[in-house]
Structure 1
């Protein structure tokens, strides 16, 4: 079941030996053979992918459809130096992800992601909803490296730019139904229709997903982690004249899934962490003191409560474009999103009621407005300039159930859930009300000095302001104070602001119509902030912004009469004031806890190779290879609660040294229709999930094999299709998330095992 790292070198040799080597960016060969042009908007305007002087991969809808991918998690390993984990325990659509070693695995909405998720031009302010559904996507662009100018808000790692399909103005539909392992049932539908011919067109989209979780061995007959999700959207495209258009979309999501189940990895004995000097962490309390050490089963849970991860989301997006002249246009992007969550998670991962959290009403609302002017001046100048405003509001009341006896290792206190309120099962609550505002002005200009040589100059000035009300409350709603052992009352209202200028400089030379090289420098910026999950008022923050200075050199070329595309990039990132989780003294018992501060700096460098080959009509071969060398330059701090150590030799989290993929896709005409055969293998190297590099967070290398067989036939005006798919046929199960709670307990989440199924579809 588990892939062993000894196979890595053999797989690497196989990949590098392929003549049609690499590309995560999909391009189907045309009927005459050769590569199709890929158009992206990575610089806020439509361009040929091969002309963009930065590392970007475009994954089309056909790639996701081929392997029955319902969300973007399949980008993990399929795009160089991109790592995406399964959903976190905080919600079924909250993912952990990393680009070029800059990672995010956080469901706390006061902490903004360093990797931007952008949907139809709108920046998503939290990781909630980051596991994008693919059923109505035209393509997903993965921008690797900081995007400090055009996508500038909090994109030190990169951006995932998702573009959905537009109304066609003609009546038509795409409908698909899927059934597979884990009782997977999906229904997807997209319907286009005209309203006023040439003036107003509409589109409706619907997605439903049902999928069982894993079995529970402590409570036979029960399963945990079920998915129950549906979403619907409506889009209007208004084009009264050739010089103006407005695209309005409303989305509604109702997620009634269970929490991602967590699994115990109890440790009876001590663990030595690779710090300087080494730190010895004692085994987990239930196992070490009470002898409660149930065996770990990657395919079964033991939790006493299945938990819930319910979410209602409403969103409105308005994209408008006005052509001021033939060469200059004004673009407006307006976005509003509101989510209400109800989350209950059994974090002790056992059949005992030891540690649970309840978030009955997590509310998040955001509004953003971008206005930009873009166009050309003469034949040699392209420009984009504009302004950006963002406001996000988050409030939450988090309740905790903690069995004091197990946590403190005192049998006499088992079942006494609150020392101060013995009749209440709630041991404490955290109330958070957080507001974030961001303002920015940005500009980028491309100047072609002479044929083939283009200089890019860009910059963004960003001003962020954040305010938080943070309170620790007793079960009766009163503020924790000296009566509960706190040194000061646990209520604080505070605010802070930061400003930063982030430049971009790139030089591109077009050697031939099919070959270009570029060099670039970009600075990325991730705003400072507050931690709504801090243990007390003294550790809420603020922490300061982190920055990444990125140097990149790349080559993009198409060879052999455009039958082979080869893109290579090498980069070095200097990561400064890195925001890390460290332990600090607190003003409440037990007088220490984990918070976020600017504790380290790092150097991350690597190489990325992508290629696509179309050796003959209908046959497309792709592969990719990413190499990452990520190291701390300076990291001195208390990361375990047992004292300050030099942690500079530790490995960065979610920064696997190798990511690779290879795939074959073959289309041919037979049996009165078209047959598609596809196979893909993704390999992700070993990595760490915990900042301490605790063995509990070590993930072995793993490979994933996917395959599909599809048949389509046109009958009248309708194209019918059937597809059989296999996902993770190697049955590789790896840790996706690991959490250690104060030496008391470790728990993990894992990905699903092997899946097979079938899909029926029609389109007209």
Structure 2
């Protein structure tokens, strides 16, 4: 495939669209004006309804056109601008717990990489050569990898979380679902500042300048700076002569789990009668220390078992008694010896142009994103040189998407072409047992993906719509890994598939509807660069497909005071790509393709209990199991389903007292596995995390017309809970590292609009 040729073809099509008949463009412009008036009217009505206790209208663009959330036949959670401001949502992890059957957590050992699971579909390996199962988009631009995916976007207008395959609507394959981050477009709103102060030395300053540069042209600059001290203090090892332990020297790093993040985003937007133009540039630089890898488990008397216990050669002192450093419950003090760090530098540039033509609205999106990411980790939980690893990663992606959306009578349609080209490289030196075992591995991968897609919705009657979609995908990938010495592994693979979508939606009444949906998803195969086996590293694992069947209901009741949305789904995965940690080294994994069946129920409700009290309850249930008997080359079999809790629950209670509002948010996740180990493996029990519940409390007020003030407490009960872990297995004496969630934090936000 020649990416540049396709890009040139796309630009030619755009140029042709630009020269479409002006009279039609004028008609389109008039229609657009009518749409804007209708949208404004809807907003005004929503505000009026809300003032008397009704549920506001939410307009989404999940199907590439403006629709009411309740009229969209998709399992969809929409997070509005008011909720974003209330909860101070700035990145993908900030919205964790809100959407049913969705998990959003940091990857083990890092704060800038995300693990995203949706309906049991997940990519648990954060290596840069792996493709995420859930697509994340920023203003229509695909964010290609999980490394560096956690960065602040402080001017969000809306977030849409779409559950289930969305390939016939979105440029990149979204086998598990999609998360759309939609920023506020420049509109000349002026200057806005925000200051946040909290415990643990939290200081965050935000500045937004939004002005009209010329008639119809607006510019917006967003600057963000965030710093926070560590949740864990690092100190020398506490054990002295009584335990026979050689005390460690002063640590190189004084605090763990710190944040030092700075970034900006600049956008220019221009509108004419029948076209729009947007150019955005964003940059984020983080220099943090990683979370504490807390030692949760080892075998008894680890030091003696590994020959570093008490001996005459050490004067009767134990050399590396790591077993003394095991602990349960979130630690406040750590004792690690490595100079740990985590750095992430992410930048992007995107150009979006759209124009109304006689065929519909043509939109072209051209973007490039770059990531420079690195870390240095202490992976033994103590002050000894047992396990240290580093990663130095570069990633670049270039994307082009061309869309045509329109309507003809009873037909709404979306047509699109998408191309992605990316290049990834990681250097991953590792050192174990005081340098007795050193591993130097470098790996890289390239991808070249193209797709055409289309979706057509036809109004069969005034109450029944039928939607048909199709997508054709073609991907080429290359993988390379360099082992110790002169050994290397190279591989090439091509993957293609055609997938479809079929939806029937029916209005039961003016305020309730139901839908039936069948959708296919596809995720290309690839190369496992972390395999210790050169043959496995050069042999592509199989692509993954899913057929999703879904039945949904959406309704408004009690004079628009209660919303109930329900979805039942059954996903049948073939060749599900599951990575499992072999613990041959800190970054060593193998891949197994297996079939799986995942079904569940999702319920999203919002109700006004009275004119001043709003209750939201979102619940999800999952039943996930592997249905195939696939066995890996090393004999490994799958049993536990990673990141697939049986139950997720989110409850939000908001009370308006007049001068101020109070908001209580509680999220709960049931017990679940982190890795897919079977019951015969002792690591299975060690890596299951207990159920957890987290409660946040907020007091919000507007003391003046242009000033808002929020006092907040996150993790109100100071709950101590494990989010992730890493099991090193028998080769490392069952060392298991636990990563805990944040402790209770307290602070306030002050927002001032000029």
* Length-normalised TM-score, structure 2: 0.85
Q: Which residue of 1 aligns with 2:714?
A: 727
DSSP-derived class of the 1:155 partner: coil
Counterpart CA distance in 2 for 1:660 and 1:397 is 40
Q: CA deviation digits over 1:721-755, x for unaligned, max 9?
A: 22110111122232222222342132222211111
| Aligned partner of 2:327 among 276, 288, 296 | 296
Contact 1:139/1:164 (<8 A) preserved? yes
| Aligned partner of 2:747 among 733, 757, 761 | 757
Counterpart CA distance in 2 for 1:134 and 1:315 is 13
Q: CA deviation digits over 1:75-118, x for unaligned, max 9?
A: 322211111223432x4220122111112333211011011011
Alignment of structure 1 residues 196-595 onto 2, 5 Å:
196-197=214-215, 199-213=216-230, 214-217=232-235, 218=237, 222-239=254-271, 241-268=272-299, 292-293=322-323, 294-297=325-328, 298-300=330-332, 301-325=334-358, 328-359=360-391, 361-378=392-409, 380-403=410-433, 415-417=434-436, 427-474=438-485, 479=486, 490-540=487-537, 541-581=539-579, 595=589
User: Comparing both structures, which one devotes a greater share of its residues to helix?
Assistant: 2
DSSP-derived class of the 1:664 partner: strand
Matched residues, number: 672
Q: CA deviation digits over 1:359-418, x for unaligned, max 9?
A: 2x411000001101110011x100001100001101222211122xxxxxxxxxxx4535
Q: Which residue of 1 aligns with 2:157?
A: 138
Q: CA deviation at 1:590?
A: 8.0
Counterpart CA distance in 2 for 1:517 and 1:583 is 42
Contact 1:268/1:287 (<8 A) preserved? no
Q: CA deviation at 1:318?
A: 1.5
Counterpart CA distance in 2 for 1:687 and 1:255 is 31
How large is the RMSD of aligned CA atoms in angstroms?
2.7
DSSP-derived class of the 1:669 partner: coil
Q: CA deviation digits over 1:235-281, x for unaligned, max 9?
A: 00012x210101111001111111233111232169xxxxxxxxxxx
Counterpart CA distance in 1 for 2:604 and 2:578 is 32
DSSP-derived class of the 2:290 partner: coil
Counterpart CA distance in 2 for 1:687 and 1:306 is 32
Q: Which residue of 1 aligns with 2:681?
A: none
Q: 1:105 to 1:560 in 2, by over 3 A?
A: same
Contact 2:622/2:645 (<8 A) preserved? yes
Counterpart CA distance in 2 for 1:315 and 1:161 is 16
For structure 2, the residue ranges without an aligned partner over 5 or more in a row are 1-45, 238-249, 311-317, 679-683
Counterpart CA distance in 2 for 1:284 and 1:519 is 59
Q: Is 2:661 aligned against 1:676?
A: yes
Q: Is 2:604 aligned against 1:610?
A: yes
Q: 1:402 to 1:39 in 2, by over 3 A?
A: same
Contact 2:696/2:716 (<8 A) preserved? yes
Counterpart CA distance in 1 for 2:585 and 2:629 is 23
For structure 1, the residue ranges without an aligned partner over 5 or more in a row are 1-26, 271-281, 404-414, 419-426, 480-489
Contact 2:703/2:709 (<8 A) preserved? no
Q: Which residue of 2 aligns with 1:190?
A: 208
DSSP-derived class of the 1:603 partner: strand
Q: Which residue of 2 aligns with 1:634?
A: 628
Counterpart CA distance in 1 for 2:566 and 2:585 is 51
Q: 1:32 to 1:582 in 2, by over 3 A?
A: closer
Q: Which residue of 1 aligns with 2:23?
A: none
Counterpart CA distance in 1 for 2:92 and 2:85 is 11
Contact 2:194/2:207 (<8 A) preserved? yes
Q: CA deviation digits over 1:579-609, x for unaligned, max 9?
A: 123589xxxx989995443432111101111
Contact 1:366/1:393 (<8 A) preserved? yes
Contact 1:266/1:284 (<8 A) preserved? no
Larger relative contact order (CA 8 Å, sep ≥ 6): 1
Alignment of structure 1 residues 738-757 onto 2, 5 Å:
738-743=725-730, 744=732, 745-757=735-747
Counterpart CA distance in 1 for 2:586 and 2:88 is 47
Q: Which residue of 2 aligns with 1:424?
A: none
Counterpart CA distance in 2 for 1:191 and 1:676 is 28
Counterpart CA distance in 2 for 1:397 and 1:166 is 38
Q: CA deviation at 1:757?
A: 0.8
Q: CA deviation digits over 1:633-666, x for unaligned, max 9?
A: 1244259x5x455x4xx23111111111111223
